[in-house]
Amino acid sequence: MADPIALVVLVSGRGSNLHAIAEAIDAGACHARIAAVISDRGPDRCEALSWATGRGITTATVPPKAHADRTAWDAALAEEVAAHAPGLVVLAGFMKIVGPAFLQRFGGRTLNVHPSLLPAFPGLRAPEQAIAAGVRISGCTVHLVDAGVDTGPILAQAAVPVRPDDDAARLHARIQRHEHRLLPRVVHWLGTGELSLERGIAPEADGVLYSPSV
């Protein structure tokens, strides 16, 4: 089998998806290695980054404020990511929109995980949007990142029920349990070549829905 695929994981917050990837790798269920974890926020404002440092993972911070404008920040982010030579970039709760310089280098091999069944409820507070819309089924989506907000080609989705007594936090927690299974699995499939972005063919498993849309 090929060497584990090198990941750069971009984070801004808690990092439960980062933990899930690391746990799956440790369990031998995800054929990847985490080359670096990069944030737009320092470790004092990003739990995921301090967690990664604590585990001895290489980390870096690329804060927008340290750069003249968005274009300069985007170029700096692309440079920092490139320094770790990733096969795949994973946006796991990264709260910034990546720009043209980043996409020129890493478009087509950058994944995002989003807490809704896209194209429904893109952007912020997706679980809250789902509850407000009254839908009875929501879920999570792993997709390729393009220049839009949560608009790139869908790779995989998992569905969860929206219960009548749900609030946004409870629904988000239920969705996240599926994110934590789906994201490492998609990374694994890309790492092993079972899921090919060219062919768009994904294995089937466990009632999770995998889209051959790419």
Give the pairing of strands 5-11 and 88-91.
Answer: parallel
Q: Are 203 and 186 in contact (CB under 8 A)?
A: no
- The residue with its CB nearest to ligand GRF is 93
Q: What are the tokens at 37?
A: 């974890």
Taking the C-alpha atoms of residue 214 and residue 200, their distance in angstroms, rounded to an integer, is: 5
Taking the C-alpha atoms of residue 71 and residue 48, their distance in angstroms, rounded to an integer, is: 25
Nearest to ligand GRF of 4, 15 (CB atom):
15
Number of residues that make up the chain? 214
Nearest to ligand GRF of 86, 115 (CB atom):
115
- Is 114 among the catalytic positions? yes
Taking the C-alpha atoms of residue 168 and residue 16, their distance in angstroms, rounded to an integer, is: 17
Place of tokens 């320092």: 42
Q: How far does the chain reach from its first CA to its final CA, in angstroms? A: 24
Taking the C-alpha atoms of residue 77 and residue 74, their distance in angstroms, rounded to an integer, is: 5
Nearest to ligand GRF of 35, 145 (CB atom):
145
Nearest to ligand GRF of 73, 176 (CB atom):
176
CB of 85 to ligand GRF, least distance (A): 23
CB of 89 to ligand GRF, least distance (A): 14
3-state secondary structure 123-150: CCCHHHHHHHHCCCEEEEEEEECCCCCC
Nearest to ligand GRF of 90, 190 (CB atom):
90
Catalytic residue among 114, 143, 172, 178: 114
List of residues contacting ligand GRF (CB under 6 A): 13-17, 48, 92-93, 113-115, 176, 179
Catalytic residues: 114
